[in-house]
A and B are shown apart, each in its own frame.
Chain A
Amino acid sequence: MQDSTIWTEKYRPQTFAEIKGQKKIIERIKAFVEQKNMPHLLLAGPAGVGKSTISLVIAKELFKDTWKQNLLELNASDDRGIDVVRHTIKEFAKTKSMGNVPFKIIFLDECDSLTKEAQQALRRTMENYVMTTRFILSCNYSSKIIDPIQSRCTVFRFKPLTEEDIADYVKAIIQRENLEMDETTVKALVEMSSGDVRKVTNILQSCASIEKKITKDLIYSLVSAAEPKEINEIINLAINRQFIKARSLLLDTMLKHGLSGIDILKQIQKETMELSTISDEKRIELIDKCGEIEFRMVEGADEFIQLEALLASYAK
């Protein structure tokens, strides 16, 4: 197969041995694969730590050449509507697996975004097809998955990759692509990624398309160009009691960049840490408020109303 032109795919580990970090999890999962027997799995952990990669490797190692026919990949946040999920799953699970493994695998990514009702339906589907199909579910927070599903799965909790793991991975790419990058620049890139390999790889590829010799400045300029700059302005409007302008810019920013409430909140929180125009007393009050609002959004509250409530408390 020809290498993908997108590096996140080109450099995606193809075997258990190639996967960085997550050693203990891999030990156990390997045992399942060797015995050609596997329970349903629930993989929980932050973005870009290898949940999808491991799922793909499981399929590749289990089914070898026929892995594509025996794996159904769905993303719960895209293929929303449990009916779609149910229908596709049913069609897939109806036929028998190819080769010498007695089951097929359905990988359902980002299960956090399924409603409780959808999860109930999924639970039943999991039961109905247990003879022919194993599910690998992935999510960011296992607390968002209903107990009956959790109890049917072996749960693996993924830790964020260490900075060394990511640095190793970055260096491997540098070598393969003949790039130039010194140690401190690698470190800066890794720090910026908050443990997300996908993001690191995308930034790296973006830099490499401009210059072979990658500098800190280049990385910063690309990252800041990709990040919305309006957040600072929104906060300043809010501080200066221009609430209506602030919220209208907020909405436009969210829509223009396709950002979720949590994405925006992260940025607001970062900016708040660096605001020079407020007292430290006010700063901690606002950070506390950010935390509360984030909690509410995770719980499923209306993102926009919650963000408005946050902005309203910035007024001086």
Chain B
Amino acid sequence: MIPWTKKYEPKKSTDILGQELALYKIKEALKLKRTILIYGPTGTGKTSAVQVIGKELGLELFEISASDARNKENIENTIGNSLAQQSLFAKGKVILIDDIDALSGTKDRGGLPTILALIEKTKHAIAITCIDPWDDKYSKLRKQCLLIEFQALKKENMFNYLKNIADAESIQYQEKDLLDIIKLSKGDMRAAITDIQTYSITKTINTEEKSERDREESMQYCLRKILKSKKWEETINVFDKVDEDLNECLLWLDENLPKEYNAEDLKKAYAYLSKADVYNGRIRRWQHWRFLIYINMLITSGVATAKKETNINATEYTRTMRILKLWQANMKYAKKKSIANKIAEHTHTSTKRAIRDSLPYLKNILLQPETIKELQLDEEEISWLQK
């Protein structure tokens, strides 16, 4: 069975969605035989872009991908030779070094310096892809390359693409399922296409979605243990079984703790929980990962043993709404922020301070015609102020 990621891979540059600017840059750079470093999340079309644009420009493609060993010798053998040769029919060449993140320290030894030397030497265009170019070890590379960013794909772009695939394969689907697949993919088209292929076979909701649900169930279990039990040994290891990162566990616990504890118990439990958060910061600050041990104990048995009373009623634990509310507030107060931003630029301060120290006092002053002109407030901002 042919993987759909292959079957539906982009055939021409217009098949790559939502990266118009990046595509334009790549095209121009390849024409000029520049070296480019294309970066961005997985499955957004970085590699495909080089392949199809190369084809469209009639360039011969040499590819070194993560599957090849990429030590010094190997790179020189494959690429070095081909560079010396005139291309067949004197076409131009483009060298694609895929996924440079995947250069391993030991096996690909000398890989990066060889690539750097190659860039210096070559007369051909080179395209390098990677996920995160900001690591220190790439500082030299960054200097020698034109950086081009790929962005995580937008939902509507993905939706149309997946819909086309679904129609072409005549899959019966619920729109909601497609949206779930997209949500889970986090902007990774390859992941989404893989998922929809699975979906087409099982004809059910895809497996990832299910595992998300599993995760939620096991989180319910953990919280029940911690918030209902008082026993050290029953609670100490509960988070070992969940596949969630620590911050997620903290947020879940934070959201649901007050539903089960009150007064003194709540105070004590929050003392532990907030202390765990402090350790969390200290890990980041000092890079001392052993603090994890204390965090884990504080948020499991610490919180569990903090209570004198156990709430005997069954409680449904919910995901925190804090993040969502933050997001909603950002949307709702976007105008306020853009006004504050204008004040900030004008009065040499930060947006945050303008919101706090200027905006509350200056509302009616901002509506004076001279000030509107001075700050160049637009219609929407003015109507926000008039409210």
Q: Are B322 and A251 within 8 A (Cβ)?
A: yes
Is A61 close to B, CB under 8 A? no
Type the 1/0 row for A247-270, where 1 means its CB is closer than 8 Å to any CB of B.
Answer: 100011001111110010000000
Interface residues of B in 342-387 (CB under 8 A from A): 343-344, 346-353, 355-358, 360-362, 364-365, 368, 370-371, 374
Q: Are B336 and A258 within 8 A (Cβ)?
A: yes
- Given A299-B278, A305-B277, check contact A198 B262 (CB 8 Å): no
Is B181 close to A, CB under 8 A? no
Interface residues of A in 194-247 (CB under 8 A from B): 196, 198-199, 202-203, 205-206, 209, 222, 225-227, 241, 243-244, 247
CB-contact partner of A9 in B282, B329, B347, under 8 A:
B347
- Given A9-B347, A300-B284, check contact A308 B254 (CB 8 Å): yes
Q: Are A308 and B270 within 8 A (Cβ)?
A: yes
Interface residues of A in 4-49 (CB under 8 A from B): 4-6, 8-9, 12, 47-48
Main secondary structure of the interface of B (DSSP, over half): helix
A residues in contact with B113, CB < 8 Å: none
Q: Are B281 and A243 within 8 A (Cβ)?
A: no
Interface size class of A (residues with CB under 8 A): 35 or more
- Given A52-B348, A243-B262, check contact A251 B325 (CB 8 Å): yes
Q: Are B281 and A9 within 8 A (Cβ)?
A: no
Q: Are B250 and A56 within 8 A (Cβ)?
A: no
Q: Are A205 and B278 within 8 A (Cβ)?
A: no
Q: Are A202 and B368 within 8 A (Cβ)?
A: no
Q: Are A243 and B278 within 8 A (Cβ)?
A: no
A residues in contact with B336, CB < 8 Å: 258
Tell me the count of chain B residues lying within 8 A, CB to CB, of chain A: 54
Q: Are B285 and A116 within 8 A (Cβ)?
A: yes
- Given A5-B371, A206-B361, A244-B259, check contact A78 B270 (CB 8 Å): no
Is B258 close to A, CB under 8 A? yes
Minimum distance in angstroms from A44 CB to a CB of chain B? 16
B residues in contact with A288, CB < 8 Å: none
B residues in contact with A258, CB < 8 Å: 333, 336-337, 340, 352, 355-356
CB-contact partner of A206 in B266, B285, B365, under 8 A:
B365
CB-contact partner of A5 in B258, B333, B368, under 8 A:
B368
Q: Are A300 and B281 within 8 A (Cβ)?
A: yes
B residues in contact with A96, CB < 8 Å: none
- Given A203-B361, A258-B352, check contact A315 B344 (CB 8 Å): no
- Given A5-B371, A305-B274, check contact A205 B356 (CB 8 Å): no
A residues in contact with B374, CB < 8 Å: 4-6
Is A150 close to B, CB under 8 A? no
Type the 1/0 row for B267-299, where 1 means its CB is closer than 8 Å to any CB of A.
Answer: 101110110011011101100000000000000
Is A294 close to B, CB under 8 A? no
Is B263 close to A, CB under 8 A? yes
Is A73 close to B, CB under 8 A? yes
Given the complex of chains A and B, what is the CA–CA distance between A249 and B136 in angstroms? 44
CB-contact partner of B326 in A8, A255, A293, under 8 A:
A255
Given the complex of chains A and B, what is the CA–CA distance between A241 and B266 in angstroms? 10
B residues in contact with A316, CB < 8 Å: 263
Given the complex of chains A and B, what is the CA–CA distance between A241 and B265 in angstroms? 11
Q: Are B360 and A77 within 8 A (Cβ)?
A: no
CB-contact partner of B362 in A6, A241, A252, A296, under 8 A:
A6
Q: Are A315 and B254 within 8 A (Cβ)?
A: no
A residues in contact with B263, CB < 8 Å: 241, 315-316
CB-contact partner of B271 in A205, A256, A263, A309, under 8 A:
A309
Is B185 close to A, CB under 8 A? no
Q: Are A78 and B344 within 8 A (Cβ)?
A: yes
Among residues of B, the one whose C-beta sits closest to the C-beta of A77 is: B350
Is A185 close to B, CB under 8 A? no
Is B264 close to A, CB under 8 A? yes
B residues in contact with A296, CB < 8 Å: 274, 277-278, 281
Minimum distance in angstroms from A168 CB to a CB of chain B? 21
Among residues of A, the one whose C-beta sits closest to the C-beta of B340 is: A258
A residues in contact with B71, CB < 8 Å: none
- Given A206-B365, A209-B365, A301-B274, check contact A255 B348 (CB 8 Å): no
Report B's interface with A, CB cutoff 8 A. Answer: 134, 250, 254, 258-259, 262-264, 266-267, 269-271, 273-274, 277-278, 280-282, 284-285, 322, 325-326, 329, 333, 336-337, 340-341, 343-344, 346-353, 355-358, 360-362, 364-365, 368, 370-371, 374
The 8 closest A-B pairs by CB, nearest first: A226-B360, A309-B274, A255-B329, A206-B361, A312-B270, A309-B270, A202-B361, A258-B355
Q: List 24 A-B contacts (CB under 8 A).
A: A5-B371, A5-B374, A6-B343, A6-B346, A8-B358, A52-B349, A75-B349, A75-B351, A198-B353, A199-B357, A202-B361, A203-B361, A205-B361, A206-B361, A206-B364, A258-B355, A299-B281, A300-B285, A302-B250, A305-B254, A308-B254, A309-B270, A309-B274, A313-B271
Known: A5-B370, A8-B358. 11 other contacts (CB 8 A): A53-B348, A73-B348, A78-B341, A206-B361, A247-B258, A251-B325, A255-B326, A256-B333, A257-B356, A258-B336, A300-B284
